[in-house]
Every structure is written in C-alpha cells, then in structure tokens.
Amino acid sequence: MSGVALKFTDTYSQYVEAPRSFLYASYMTALGSMLSDHLTLQSEIRPEPRFYTVLVGDSADDRKSTAGDLTLKFFRETFVDFESCGGIGSAEGLMKKLNQLSNSGTRTAKLLLFFDEFKQFVSKCKIDGSVLLPCVTTLFESNRYESHTKTSSIDIDSAYLSIIACTTRETFDSMWSGTFTDIGLNNRLFLVSGKGERRFAIPRTIPAAEKKKLQGWTADICTLAKDGLEMKIEDDAFDLYEQWYMGLERSVYSKRIDTYGLRFMPLLALNDGKTAIDFETVEKVITVMDWQLKVRRELTPIDADNEVARMEQKIRRQLENHGRSKRELQQNTNANRAGTWLFKTALDNLVSAQEIRYDKQAKVYLQNM
C-alpha cells in the first residue's frame, strides 16, 4: 500500500474495524471507476483501470459492507459526478441505469455497482432467461453489450462498469458451477480476503478536517488525468514486467492476472502522484499480482481444481493410442456435462505442459512421446 490510498486506509482504520485490505481495495476500485474514461496505459489495447472487486470474509465481524459503504460515501462527498448503484436485478435494469447516466449530459456512463450481498447478484444470474451474467462478464473488457430477442432488446454503449461486492466464503464457493465458470466470470474477479477484529464498541466519528485532507489529496491526483492521461512505461519497468509475464504460471488461478496487472499500472502510478510508470510502480504491481495469485489459491474451492485434474486424466486416456479431434475429445470425456470452461482449461493445461500437441494438418490432438 502506498500513496493516497494508503493515507485513506490509515485514517479510516483508526476509526472502524474493517480490515485494511478491504478499505484499500475499495478505495482503489472507486478511484479506478472515477478515472476509467480518463486514465490508461500507452498500449494498443488501452486498458481501463476498472476492477470487479470482491471482498470475501467468513462472518459479519469481518466488516465487508462497512468498507464498501464508507468508501463509496467518501467518493460521493468528494466528487459530484461519482456514480454508484446499490444493486441491479437484470441486464435491462443495468441498461436503464447506464442510459440515464449517458442522457445526463456526459458522453460516457461510468458506474460502480455495489453489492452489499453478492448472493443477490449470483441468484439473479441463475434465473432462466436472464442475460445479466453475460452482460456483466462482457462489460469487464468491453464498453458495449448487445442482446436482441423476440421479446426484449438490450443495447449498452460507452459504459464503464466497476464492481465492489461483499460475500461470504459459502456464497463465493457456489459460484464455482458451470453457470459462472463456463462464461469466465470467476477469473474476472479481483479477490480480497480479510479478517476483522473487534476494536471499537462504538466507532468514533472521523474528524471533518481529516476527511477534508483526504478529499483534497484524492482530488489532486484525479486532476492529473482530468484532460486524459495515457501513461508511458519506462524501459526498465517494461523489461521487469515482461520478465514476470513470461514466467507467469499457467493454471486455473492465473487466468487474467496479467489483465489486472495492466489495469493496476497507471492507477498505482497516479495514486503515488506520478504521470509515468517507472520501475518502482511495476515492482508494486508484480507484488500485488503475486498476492492475488495466492489469494485465489486460498479461496478457490479445492474441488474445482480436482475437477480440472480429473478432466486432464480423461483427455490423456483418450489420446493414449491415437489422435482425436477436439469434438471427439468433448464427446468422449462428457465435456458438455462437466462444463466447457473445465474442458478448455484442462486441454490448455496439457498443451502448455507439452504433454499433448495439436496437429494442424490432421486436425487432431496427439500425445507427445
């Protein structure tokens, strides 16, 4: 932790019981949402500092909602154009909210969804006929989503969506079903774990002067990007990140870790008052991404990883004697029942480990001898 986000975390943790990790992650997510259409990295893909942050705790004592609530209140009091919403029940409802923002005079619709109970979102996504899940999943990497059917039409354009969600381990574990893993929402989440401690029977009010200083510092760093800021990455910083990226493990846990790395770069730099990405910033990014990898290992249900291992073994057996097409592998391993995400992950793992290879001419997978 560093910069203004650290000052925010230090101040608020003196008055509330929310874990420092929750306060810091909530601040960075809100800051990224505020700057999502102004701040990016000098790259062809132009990553936006938008996060789908999920605060995972075991009980009410972990103060997940407290961290999110207080952070959003702080940003609403600091910026008149900061937009957040306390819940969405459908893709149609999300479209309506985003269109309201677009029609309010701004060119883009920046919105931070706050789910006090992520279970609400999870249950809505499981409703038959709902397109909320594919809509939110698509908007992680895109600013546009369309879905047209006989009875409804959804057209979202120029949208910058961010999320802060609070959940228990039980609810998070329920997301490791085909509904969510097949579409890839799980690896689009930035997971934050934390443990609250009872320290204040009645939390004191944060002095107005302290809040005002934090608001001033936050406004100052946002001013650096007010006209749009495309951050250049210095050569030594580029080399460091490339070395880390090339050595990043290929596993269930590392999916889109690099995506978050690129999104964090300009935001962490700006949070420290910088307008370019230097070696120190990339070191911080790598530290955060390595930490995220460990958190995913800790929180991802063991059964999910075991299922991948089982599917890998099924694929190995199918290729013991001769090559098979992808379709044959899917049929013979019951991939439709297990889930397309599970099958694809297992297949990619075996190819990456060079246990199997794809023969382009014969259009079959073969076992390496």
pLDDT (tens digit per residue) in 137-146: 999 999 998 8
Mean pLDDT throughout 107-113? Answer: 87
Give the pairing of strands 39-41 and 109-115. unpaired
Nearest alpha-carbon partner for 36 in 307, 212, 267, 197? 267
Q: 251 and 314, same structural domain?
A: no
Residues 309-345: pLDDT tens digits? 888 988 998 898 889 999 999 988 888 877 788 888 8
Residue 108 amino acid letter: T
Using CA atoms in the order 240, 251, 180, 264, what is the torsion angle rounded to 10 degrees? -10
Helix (H, G, I), strand (E, B) or coil at 349: helix
222 belongs to a structural domain: no
**Within 10 Å of residue 119's Cβ, how many Cβ atoms?**
18
Section 355-362 average pLDDT: 92
Residue 219 lies in a domain: no
pLDDT in tens, 29-44: 999 999 999 999 999 9
Length of the chain measured in residues: 369
Mark which of 260, 284, 299 sits at the end of a domain. Answer: 299
Q: Please tell me whether residues 183 and 125 are part of one structural domain.
A: yes
Does 69 share its domain with 34? yes
* CA-to-CA dists, residue 330 to 333, 342, 343, 349, angstroms: 5, 11, 7, 15
User: Do residues 181 and 33 both lie within one domain?
Assistant: yes
Check whether residue 255 and residue 139 sit in a common domain.
no
- 318 & 263 share domain: no
Please give the share of the chain, as a percent, with pLDDT higher than 70: 97
For the chain, strand residue ranges (E) read: 39-41, 52-57, 84-85, 109-115, 145-148, 153-156, 159-168, 190-193, 229-231, 356-359, 364-367
- Mean pLDDT for 163-176 is 84
Report the candidate in 250, 256, 257 with the shortest Cα–Cα distance to residue 346: 250
The reply to whether 291 falls in a domain is yes
186 and 258 belong to one structural domain: no
- 277 in a structural domain: yes
My answer on whether 209 and 265 are in the same domain is no
Residue at a domain's end among 252, 277, 299: 299
Indicate the DSSP class of residue 186: G
365 φ, ψ to 5°?
-95, 140
Whether 260 and 200 share a structural domain: no
Q: Is residue 218 part of a domain?
A: no
Q: How far apart are CA 183 and CA 100, in angstroms?
A: 28
In a domain, 158, yes or no: yes
Last residue of a domain, one of 213, 242, 277: 213
Residue 221 lies inside a defined structural domain of this protein:
no
- pLDDT band (50, 70, 90) for residue 129: confident
Total domains in the chain come to 3
Q: Does 61 have pLDDT greater than 70?
A: no
Q: What percent of the chain has pLDDT over 90?
A: 59
Task: Judge whether residue 157 has pLDDT over 70.
Answer: yes
Residue 62 pLDDT > 70: no
233 domain residue, yes or no: yes
302, pLDDT greater than 80: no
**Band (107; pLDDT cuts 50, 70, 90):** low
pLDDT recorded at residue 299: 87
pTM reported for the whole predicted model: 0.84
Beta bridge partners of 84: 112
**Token duo for residue 70:** 């207080």
pLDDT band at 3 (very low <50, low <70, confident <90, very high): very high
What are the E-state strand segments in 77-228? 84-85, 109-115, 145-148, 153-156, 159-168, 190-193
Mean pLDDT of the chain: 90
Co-location of 285 and 311 in the same domain:
no
121 burial class (0-12, 13-18, 19+ CB within 10 angstroms)? buried
Instruction: Clarify whether residues 88 and 174 are in a common domain.
Output: yes
Give residue 264's pLDDT: 98
For the chain, how many helices (H) and strands (E)?
Answer: 16, 11
What span, in angstroms and rounded, lies between the C-alpha atoms of 62 and 65? 9
Look up the domain containing 57 and give its range. 3-213
CATH code of the domain in which 17 resides: 3.40.50
Specify whether 168 is located in the same domain as 233. no
| Model confidence pLDDT, tens digit, residues 180-229 | 888 889 899 999 998 878 888 888 999 999 999 999 999 999 999 999 99
Residue 50's identity, in one-letter code, is R
Q: Which two tokens stand for residue 289?
A: 């991404």
Which contacts qualify for 300-305: CB closer than 8 Å, 24 or more apart?
300/176, 300/252, 300/253, 301/173, 301/176, 303/176, 304/176, 304/181, 304/252, 305/252
- pLDDT band of residue 106 (cuts 50, 70, 90) is low
Who wins on pLDDT, 253 or 76?
A: 76
> Residue 98 is which amino acid?
L
What is d(CA 369, CA 26) in angstroms, rounded to the nearest whole number? 50
